[in-house]
Structure 1
Amino acid sequence: MALSRARRREPMNYWPGFVDALSTLLLVFTFLLSVFVMAQYFLSRDVGGKDKALAKLNRQLEELTDLLTLEKSSTTEAHKKIATLNATLEATRRDRDALMASAAAGAGSAAEVIDAQKQLSAKAQSTVDLLNQQIAALRSQLAAVQEALSAQEAKDKDSQARIADLGSRLNVALAQKVQELARYRSDFFGRLREVLGDRPDVKVVGDRFVLTSEVLFDRARATLSPQGKAEIDKVAAALADVVKEIPPEIPWVLRVDGHTDKTRIRSAPFKSNWELSAARSLAVVEYLVDKGFDPHHILAGAFGDQQPIDDGDSEEALRRNRRIELKITDR
């Protein structure tokens, strides 16, 4: 029984041999692949070197081509210069021959040429003498003009001094007239205060006498109301007393300026506040002229709502801006 078990064969294992064969095959493949890669590397390096050498040869060929073109151009230019020099040399030879022939032919007329030059010199000398005489005459004339200019400058200085003196005198006279006019203006305002009394709707603002429009006109109208005419009569009476005392040589004028508030007017016949203020100032001027006021001493002005004395929006502010201003001023 033991013998029979000893004789029994175990099965054969092929797997290790198969693995060894595959390993050997893989090593051979890797070696061949390495050889192929190395061959490719050296081949590409050789090809790249040949390309660089070919590019270098092409550049050298281009440089040689440029040099050849430049050399051809230089050669052509040299040929042109040689032709030009030959032509110049030939022309010089012809001129030399012509000069030699002319010298030979003109040797006999040299004396005639010298005589002609002497005659020309004599004429030139006479012309120079004549010019010198004319220059001397011009110099004497310039001296006379300079003397006249000097005398005129002296007269101008004297005239300027006189003008300056007259100007200063005129300024003094004007200042005196302005002072006199200011005195009469003060008298006019003082008498107006006495006539009109201490009323809230009639005020003196600086050098102007201010009457509110409600005293003279109805709302949005430019016709003097009966009350307005009565007030203007008072102004005319006070002004008439002062005008009698103003000397006639003082240039003065009574300026009547119309003003409105900033409310836009929408009633006919006035299209704007400008027209309303102008119509009101003209109404006062015409009434004063009808009362006998000299029209040469009166002036109408219109400002619309452009010069308010109160920038507020209240009814009281608007009422104050609707006004007629009277002012005595110089022309």
Structure 2
Amino acid sequence: MALGRARGGERRIDYWPGFVDALSTLLLVFVFLLTVFVLVQFFLTREMAGKDDAMARLQAQIRELTDLLALERTSRDDAESDLGSLRSSLALMQQERDRLRSEIVAPPDEAEQAAARGRAEALASQLAQQKDVAAQALSQIDLLNQQIAALRRQMAALEEALAISESKDKESQAKLADLGRRLNVALAQRVQELTRFRSEFFGRLRAILGDRPDIRIVGDRFVFQSEVFFDPGSAGIRPEAIPALDKLAEAIAALEKEIPSDIAWVLRVDGHTDNRPIQTPQFPSNWELSAARAIAVVQYLVGKGIQPVHLVAAGFGEYQPIDAADSDEARAKNRRIELKLTER
């Protein structure tokens, strides 16, 4: 009665709606930033993949043109070598022609003069043929020089295109790195704020349920020892657990009213057991026992008016221990029911 009069005589300020509004806003911002990051990552990845393909094609063309240029240079060198040989042969023939002409001018007799004229005519014919071959070689060298010049222009254009592509690729990578850095900073800030609000929410649950050693906060989860709700090897809720479950249902009902309807959230109820095997007709393994206990808690909360869309039941068996020691104390810690407020 004295406590009731004291509460009636003073006004209490409820900060909880403000905390929930801030939590919902942070969740929306977090989802929005994550969506933006995924979209930007997707488009930039596609753009970078296309640029990588283009760069690979350009590099393949450059290698092909380089091989062609080397082949053309080899052909030109061969042609120049042949031309040098032809020029040497032409010079020798010209010397022989001059010698024969000198013999024709003053031959010792008519027979030698006729033979000299025959040799001179033969050399003249060979000389004409060599000149034609030399002219063809010069023409081929000119054509090769033109082809080499065209290949060089193509290589210069490809190298310029490759440089532009590499520059754009570096700019894209820099933008992506900057966006990722800014997004990571923003997400880190939001996670810190979300962690603070979750801690305050669990603190409120602690105040509602009382400061009991079998109820504690572990990370982002609210942990009940299984003995609070269930007898050993059973999934039936103990009568002694009804007051605690009723208070929990009241807190969740208030949460449903305060969180906006456009935020997809659930309270996940996780069942965990120790590593002692169980083999009964009802529970052939710890999987069935942990799942049945989580479902029993969810069904009770639904019976108290909590919307099923905001509840999830999960059974983990003995495979997620919080204490891996082989002792009765560790096994007692591992037999638990966990509540986690998360996104749907």
Q: Normalized against structure 2, the TM-score is what?
A: 0.50
Q: Does 1:181 align with 2:218?
A: no
Point out where structure 2 has 5 or more consecutive residues left out of the alignment: 1-118
Alpha-carbon distance change, 141 to 239 in structure 1, aligned in 2, over 3 angstroms: farther
Structure 2 equivalent of residue 292 of structure 1: 307
Structure 2 equivalent of residue 161 of structure 1: 174
Deviation string 1:150-195 (CA, Å, 9 cap, x unpaired) is 3333333333333233222212221222123212211221221122
Whole-Å separation in 2 of the counterparts to 1:232 and 1:110:
123
Alpha-carbon distance change, 276 to 243 in structure 1, aligned in 2, over 3 angstroms: same
Structure 1 equivalent of residue 323 of structure 2: 309
Whole-Å separation in 1 of the counterparts to 2:253 and 2:280:
36
Instruction: For residue 265 of structure 1, report the CA deviation from its aligned partner.
Output: 0.4
Alpha-carbon distance change, 204 to 150 in structure 1, aligned in 2, over 3 angstroms: same
Count of aligned residue pairs for this structure pair: 223
Deviation string 1:79-122 (CA, Å, 9 cap, x unpaired) is xxxxxxxxxxxxxxxxxxxxxxxxxxxx9999888776665554
Q: Which has the higher contact order (CA 8 A, sep 6+)?
A: 2
Whole-Å separation in 2 of the counterparts to 1:288 and 1:158:
55
3-state SS of the aligned residue for 1:170?
A: helix
Deviation string 1:47-74 (CA, Å, 9 cap, x unpaired) is xxxxxxxxxxxxxxxxxxxxxxxxxxxx
Point out where structure 1 has 5 or more consecutive residues left out of the alignment: 1-106
Among candidates 194, 201, 204, match of residue 217 of structure 2? 204
Opposite residue 221 of structure 2, the aligned amino acid is: R
Whole-Å separation in 2 of the counterparts to 1:204 and 1:303:
20
Whole-Å separation in 2 of the counterparts to 1:122 and 1:286:
103
Deviation string 1:202-256 (CA, Å, 9 cap, x unpaired) is 2233443111223333432445566657644533442454566668999976554
Query: Any conservation in 1 of the 2:288–2:317 contact (CA below 8 Å)?
Result: no
| Percentage of identical aligned residues | 56
Whole-Å separation in 1 of the counterparts to 2:227 and 2:149:
88
Query: Any conservation in 2 of the 1:181–1:252 contact (CA below 8 Å)?
Result: no
Structure 2 equivalent of residue 326 of structure 1: 339
Query: Any conservation in 1 of the 2:229–2:237 contact (CA below 8 Å)?
Result: yes
Opposite residue 292 of structure 1, the aligned amino acid is: Q
Alpha-carbon distance change, 118 to 263 in structure 1, aligned in 2, over 3 angstroms: same
Q: Does 1:151 align with 2:138?
A: no
Instruction: For residue 286 of structure 1, report the CA deviation from its aligned partner.
Output: 6.6
Among candidates 266, 275, 279, match of residue 266 of structure 1? 279
Structure 1 equivalent of residue 232 of structure 2: 219
Larger radius of gyration: 1
Query: Any conservation in 1 of the 2:291–2:313 contact (CA below 8 Å)?
Result: no
Root-mean-square deviation (CA), in Å?
4.2
Query: Any conservation in 2 of the 1:257–1:326 contact (CA below 8 Å)?
Result: yes
3-state SS of the aligned residue for 1:198?
A: coil
